Structure 1
Amino acid sequence: MECTSVPGRFGHDIREDEMNPRLMDLKREGSARAHSDGVRVPKKEALRMHVAPRTARRWNHEGPPQLTQLAVYMDGHPSPHRIAAHVMALAEDDVARMTKDELIMEYRRIIVGECELEAADRRALVEQCPWLDIAAQAERNAASDARKAAIARQFELRGIPWTVAHHG
């Protein structure tokens, strides 16, 4: 079977039957950072997925294989942001289980904390941080916005007025 070279999404040529090694390394690095940033104890989260302790330690460097596989799936997808929005909606399950008071407390925590996230995001650009650090900071900022959006949807669903969410 003859393989042809096609232009990749990231400005390099890739063969149709293989992934660029550098791109794959970037996907693993991003998955590892997202895994480590996303939970308080990354190893504990890996063990929740019923993997061996040695595998759990490897996730800190390579990321969960499920997340890496999702990144591979998203590469070249005709509508990756739509798929990402769907995955984020699935992840918002805990917000739906919160009480009204818990939602309000979480919302207030987020709107105060997002100032620091926005500042760190901008600072990474101004200070010319490495690209992967800039990407990770932007992802942290986006995650905060996604959670805030999930809470806002719950406010609408439950009929909680803006004044109650902001002023009690």
Structure 2
Amino acid sequence: MSVYDFKVKTMNGEEKSLSDYEGKVLLITNTATECGFTPQYTDLQEIYSKYADKGLEILDFPCNQFGNQAPGENDEIHTFCTGRFGVTFPQFSKIDVNGENAIPLYQYLVKEKDFNGFDAGHNLTPILEKKFDESNPNYKNEPDIKWNFTKFLVDKNGNVVRRFEPTADMKLVEESISELLK
């Protein structure tokens, strides 16, 4: 099994097979428009602009499960992202990434790559760790998505090779992408 075995819904509700991206490096992320990590759209777009013609696709899945930070309909989210951040990478229909309504793709992604903790150097790490320690002291041992802008890196064969939490240094994300594109 690989990510190519899944189908997702586009912004306008049409079904799209991820096999359409076969042979490309993928960065799959759940996003939100009103989150402290929303400025990562700038970094994501810069990475996309730099590597799209070398075989990278960034797949953006808005998700409203974390603090209701992705309000609005698909077209409103898309307009915000293109207008404010110049996003040109594919955006898909708003989804759930956790729980009984999580789409099959995300159920697969979290089984492939567990949560390995937030990155120590990020200024939001202590806030996130405190929040999760208070609500679920066992959160570190559960593979579910913890917050917006969690990213999964997929190689050209559809294998999930790495998971980046939202606190990951975007330079590290870019370096990992660059390495897979070689």
Structure 1 or 2: larger strand share?
Answer: 2
TM-score (norm 2): 0.24
Computing the radius of gyration over CA atoms, which structure comes out larger, 1 or 2?
A: 1
